[in-house]
Chains A and B, each alone.
Chain A
């Protein structure tokens, strides 16, 4: 299984919506997670089972998709959302290459 994330980098203004994609080379069902890693920080689990927010994650973060195509949406971006976002499938524990979100 290979996870391909796009875009590599996204540059948006505060208040805008970010849409990140993760495509799997074969179906992973709904077993996909999203992580956020801010500069110099430890990765944090955001979303699991494709659409379930982890504890304490704001509702501006949402996940969708199943099979091979998944999306992480961040509505109304805030400056602290500047980070790299990774997807991960759980059967082989594989990570995607990451998408960087920059806030203008």
Chain B
């Protein structure tokens, strides 16, 4: 069974930084686009960032571009999200998800359990 496990969340002050990681198993990681999707408390789903299978194409939603950086290590079968200049509105449950589509046009067929990020003073 495909597994995705997030780590690295926590409580951080506004303006601070946090690095999320996603470790995967039981599929060929290097074949798939990977994404971060978040869900603020009591709210809907919001796609945040995505990285191509090779790691050479990066995608960001407008609200995080310039503050967040997505990366991946295909040898280690892991993906990361470096989050800088965090704001209260970044508070959410962050999911790691596997893309299933073509050339950046992706659906998300497997999701991790999510990791909480709370930005508060």
- The interface of chain A, by Cβ under 8 A from chain B, is 31, 33, 35, 37, 42-45, 48, 54, 84, 86, 88, 90-91, 93-98
Chain B positions 45 through 87: 1 when the CB is less than 8 Å from some CB of chain A, otherwise 0: 1110010000000010000000000000000000000000000
- The interface of chain B, by Cβ under 8 A from chain A, is 35, 44-47, 50, 59, 95, 100-101, 105-109, 111-114
Q: Is the CB of A35 within 8 A of B45?
A: yes
Q: Which of A43, A86, A91, A98 has the most CB of B within 10 A?
A: A43
Considering only CB atoms, which chain B residue lies closest to A96 in the complex?
B44
A-B pairs, 9 with minimum CB distance: A93-B47, A95-B45, A33-B107, A90-B105, A42-B111, A48-B107, A98-B44, A45-B109, A97-B44
Q: How many A-B residue pairs have CB under 8 A?
A: 49
Q: Is the CB of B112 within 8 A of A42?
A: yes
Show 6 A/B contacts (Cβ-Cβ < 8 Å), sorted by A: A37-B45, A43-B95, A44-B111, A84-B44, A88-B108, A93-B50
